[in-house]
Structure 1
Amino acid sequence: MITRSNYTRYYLPLFFILLGLVLKGLFLGSNSLGGDEPFSVYHSQQSLSNLFSIFQQENNPPLHFLLLHYWIKYFGISEISVRIPSLIFSSFTVLFVYRIGLRFFNLRVAVIASIIFTFSTYQVIFAHEARAYALMGFLTAVSMFHYLEIIHSKNRNFRNFFWFFLANTLLIYTHFFGFFILFIQFFFILFQPRLLKDYYKFLLLFSGVMLVTYSPYMWLILSRFSSAAGGTWVSPPSGISELYEMLRAFSNAPVTAVFTIMTMVAGFVLLILKRRKNPARMATRLIFCWFYLPFLFMFVISFRIPMFLDRYLMFLSIGFPLMVAVSADFVIHHPKFRLLIPGLICLLFLVTVKPNKTNKREVRETVQLVKQLEGNNTLVLVAPVHFSLNFIYYYDRHLFQFPDTELIQKKLNERSVYCINGLEGLDYKSRKHIVLVDAASNFSAPGNNILNTLNATFNQTNKHHLEEIFDIYEFEHK
């Protein structure tokens, strides 16, 4: 017998999980593997000894690489295969979004937040990416649910502590920005006298456990932070308009963003004015701190150390649907109109979601075109070197699996394919036909002068552009 309790506790969240799997899984392989995905796949397929040597220099902690390593071992390296873990993590995140809403607010908040999360194009994008971000979002949701269980309901049983510490440990071994969640949880207790009085022992235990569990990797995060202080590859914000642009990315479309922002502002003001009438004051404060504090902090600090990038905000994007849902639920209390604003927001997300959103990396199409242009005496130049794994994945899947990158380059050179940052030391003038693949080489290898030099020596006979950064040039002897 399906009771109301079973329906709200089990069947509704199961429905949202299955809906996420279908919606996000429909076009899982439509985009090329691009950006840093081939890097993750290439190194994850290597032996564990090779992987651990990479971890000593890699900019990301090891957990996602290790999970992908064992996944690839059984399921291979196709586009769909390597993205399935991200699809699973993203789809199951809604379970904890729903549970936070139901447990600490009400059924309306749980359903609204789950709809916003499920139909978020932002979340679809990272469910389609073989990187650590979907896992980061999942662990963030698990951590926050059990954190609230501990401090809100004073439910101090071993199970909540165990899952809380496990989720946080895995979170900071997934991505360095997972530390933002730990800082939010730490300072949320520290700056509230009533909480601090009851939970100072928990705070000390929390700090000690995290320091111990991360001590083997602490040297790396300190070295990464010191290097980031000198500048990162991310551009500083151009102005306050980038706050809106990020909210628009979370909200699918401009019309949804405008309505969502208005709801957030109205809800925030009303929650402050009527805070004594809010039955979930502590959970509400945490949700707003979870989103607003790192959102504004990362924006401000990015003028000095740029980090205000959509993927780096994954940990707070999990709090976004909850914050919008809480705000929407609080704006109108009249029973006849209470669902008006939440219903409109959910409808806007439903009609604006793009489950087949392009990642703007047409690597597959680029390599296919290169293969069509190749001839017997064609020299193929791929710039920059950073793009080489993207290119090789589609150029020769068997070669991509070689454990030695130097051997891969040697095999490519034997086929007159060179991955370069410049033309120095390369015998190219004797070739009758040259194909240059330029993947925004001026960004990672500024001043390479490859295109200008080839234009001075050869006749440029054709140019092809593919989304978003790929230009293919053909040259013949003058």
Structure 2
Amino acid sequence: MAVNRVTPVGDTQDPHATPGSWFGSLRVIRWVREHWLLPILLLAAAVRFYDLTAAAVWGDEGSSLLLAQYSLGEIWHHAAFDVHPPLYFMLLHGWIELFGDGILAIRSLSALAGIAAVGLGIWLVDRLATRRAAMLAGLLLALLPTAVRYSQEVRMYSLLGLLLIAATLALVYWIRRPQRHRYLVFYALLMGAAFYTHYFAVLAALCHWIYLGVIRVQRGYRFRHIQRPAWWLANLAIVVLYLPWLPNLLDLTQHMEQLKVGGDVGWEPPVTLSSLPSMIWSWLIQDDGENLPVAVFAALPLALLALAAVAVIRDRSVSRGSVLLALYTGLPLVLVFAVSFITPVFIERYLTAYALGLPLLAALAIDRLYSRVRVLALAVLMSLVGVEWVGVSNNATVDSNDQLDRVVNYVNLHFQAGDQIITSDMLWYLSYVYYDRTGAHVRLFTPPAADGHSTRPNDYGFGTLVTADVYLDSLAELAGSPRVWLIGTFGDSGEFPSLPKTWQSSGEVHAGGVQARLFVSKAAAE
């Protein structure tokens, strides 16, 4: 009788040597194939938590931390005068209550949201296509440089991406089972939260509506979901959820000029035709690419456009999920680009939530190419991974010794009771106060303009976060102070003109593009 047994490769050798390691490798490969989600999530976590604390808190992050110090009611009030809704700041407030305000703790909120977004992106593609496409999507999304970058900042962009991908997933589930109204409940809650996180969430809602319109009029099987009362009621619920904030939004739109004066909007340079491909390069390598040869500069965006076309054209599913991802990725990009010719708002971080659709769409295309031209599919995959790795490496290029916190720590170390600390710019002020350990009343220098009008921020934008006693209009007010620290760039802009003649420089330190200079009155020096 024949005995069924597996004969190891190299049976003549020691069974505990090469064959053992070979079968061990096979077990690892089999485990990864069966548990592929965990390695991808670990990769997403690794690139997001790597050097998470290396870069110093910058101005926008500092504004998040200042706003999060207020009570929930005060956050609601102050956010009404800011350019962003209040939900993220409220969550950050609770997060700090639980885990403290250390830089690792405060940035972990965004990092964890970014990792969760990778998991939901995989889930979304798994619902729309094959398991292989989901694995590819996970790999490309885990390494997406713009997503990695904004998963490492104390801002709302990572949270927005998580909410919008989750809402899109809920929409897909509802389309498949429209009788399950709980999916629309999840959709309404998630989109409502997204609207309270960032105003650009409206672009996702627009994409969802257009997608339902497309699958309603497509040839063959037509989905009538856009006509269902449940869909309209869900969107009405979103409006109702947003009604408490609507007066604040309307007031904000009426005071855009005040925001421009304060520098919170309108600071972005005008867009050009090259701005659109530059955004794609920024998403993928964290560089605008405008120093590249023209052929190379145009090649990547065109290649991605071709991949999107492959994903859409070769989509044989009745629900046309690739159209949903194409709209989610491309429509906000094009709309914001077009609007920016009127009001420049074409800013990478504002669009990062929509950049999450790019690797998902590319994964669909690669999966469909693989069924016919495997070599081409693998070449495209490796090329994209290589490009993304360049961006991830650029993100990780941070010199921790050349950061603002080095300047502040120097002042903390050499501070003496009675010293005055003056910053030259609101963004320096917002980040400086996070690291300040002196207990001093850090102030912001706001000298009158040449025509005499005040340069103090108004009550909109960052100006709502500080009280009037923070502002200092003239250095002459400090002429009697024995020691004064001036924090700024000290460039040709003349941030600190007309230093009192009674001051003499006593020391300085510079890092992170900013300097701290100590001035001592001559009388005190003598």
TM-score (norm 1): 0.82
Indicate if the aligned counterparts of 1:100 and 1:145 stay in contact, CA closer than 8 A. yes
Query: Residue 243 of structure 2 aligns to a residue in which SS?
Result: helix
Query: Residue 437 of structure 1 aligns to a residue in which SS?
Result: strand
- Gap change, CA 1:466 and 1:84, over 3 Å in 2: same
Indicate if the aligned counterparts of 1:234 and 1:309 stay in contact, CA closer than 8 A. no
Instruction: Pick from 415, 424, 436 the counterpart of residue 473 of structure 2.
Output: 424
Query: Residue 83 of structure 2 aligns to a residue in which SS?
Result: coil
TM alignment of 1:326-475, pairs within 5 A: 326-331=364-369, 333-350=372-389, 352-354=391-393, 356-358=396-398, 362-371=403-412, 374=415, 379-385=420-426, 387-396=428-437, 399=439, 412-413=440-441, 417-422=442-447, 424-425=473-474, 426-431=476-481, 434-438=484-488, 450-454=495-499, 465-468=510-513, 470-473=514-517, 475=519
Instruction: Pick from 227, 243, 265 the counterpart of residue 200 of structure 1.
Output: 227
2:267 aligned with 1:234, yes or no?
A: yes
In structure 1, the residue matched to 2:129 is 105
Instruction: Pick from 213, 218, 224 the counterpart of residue 246 of structure 2.
Output: 218
In structure 1, the residue matched to 2:285 is 252
| Deviation at residue 188 of structure 1 after TM alignment | 2.5
CA-based RMSD: 3.5
- Gap change, CA 1:242 and 1:11, over 3 Å in 2: same
In structure 2, the residue matched to 1:406 is none
TM alignment of 1:267-346, pairs within 5 A: 267-270=307-310, 275=313, 278-279=316-317, 282-331=320-369, 333-346=372-385
Deviations 1:89-120 (A, max 9, x none): 10111111111222212233222222222112
- 1:85 and 1:294 mapped to 2: Cα distance? 25
- 2:64 and 2:330 mapped to 1: Cα distance? 31
- 1:84 and 1:376 mapped to 2: Cα distance? 35
| Deviation at residue 472 of structure 1 after TM alignment | 3.5
- 2:316 and 2:501 mapped to 1: Cα distance? 71
| Deviation at residue 178 of structure 1 after TM alignment | 1.1
| Deviation at residue 346 of structure 1 after TM alignment | 2.1
Indicate if the aligned counterparts of 2:428 and 2:488 stay in contact, CA closer than 8 A. no
- 1:217 and 1:359 mapped to 2: Cα distance? 41
2:69 aligned with 1:24, yes or no?
A: no
2:290 aligned with 1:265, yes or no?
A: no
Deviations 1:370-422 (A, max 9, x none): 3456567854321234543421221128x5xxxxxxxxxxxx35xxx533212
Q: Percent identity?
A: 19
TM-score (norm 2): 0.75
- Gap change, CA 1:5 and 1:64, over 3 Å in 2: farther
2:159 aligned with 1:135, yes or no?
A: yes
Instruction: Pick from 237, 240, 244 the counterpart of residue 209 of structure 1.
Output: 237
Query: Residue 155 of structure 2 aligns to a residue in which SS?
Result: coil
Indicate if the aligned counterparts of 2:59 and 2:427 stay in contact, CA closer than 8 A. no
Query: Residue 423 of structure 2 aligns to a residue in which SS?
Result: strand
- Gap change, CA 1:374 and 1:115, over 3 Å in 2: same
Query: Can you give the 5+ residue segments of structure 1 that lack an aligned partner in the other structure?
Result: 400-411
- Gap change, CA 1:315 and 1:348, over 3 Å in 2: closer
Query: Residue 346 of structure 2 aligns to a residue in which SS?
Result: coil
Indicate if the aligned counterparts of 1:380 and 1:437 stay in contact, CA closer than 8 A. yes
2:132 aligned with 1:92, yes or no?
A: no
Deviations 1:118-175 (A, max 9, x none): 1122222211111111110111110111212223x34542342232222111111111
Indicate if the aligned counterparts of 2:164 and 2:194 stay in contact, CA closer than 8 A. yes
Deviations 1:183-225 (A, max 9, x none): 2112322455436744312442233111111111111222333
| Deviation at residue 441 of structure 1 after TM alignment | 10
- Gap change, CA 1:196 and 1:111, over 3 Å in 2: closer
- 1:371 and 1:120 mapped to 2: Cα distance? 38
- How many residues align? The count is 450
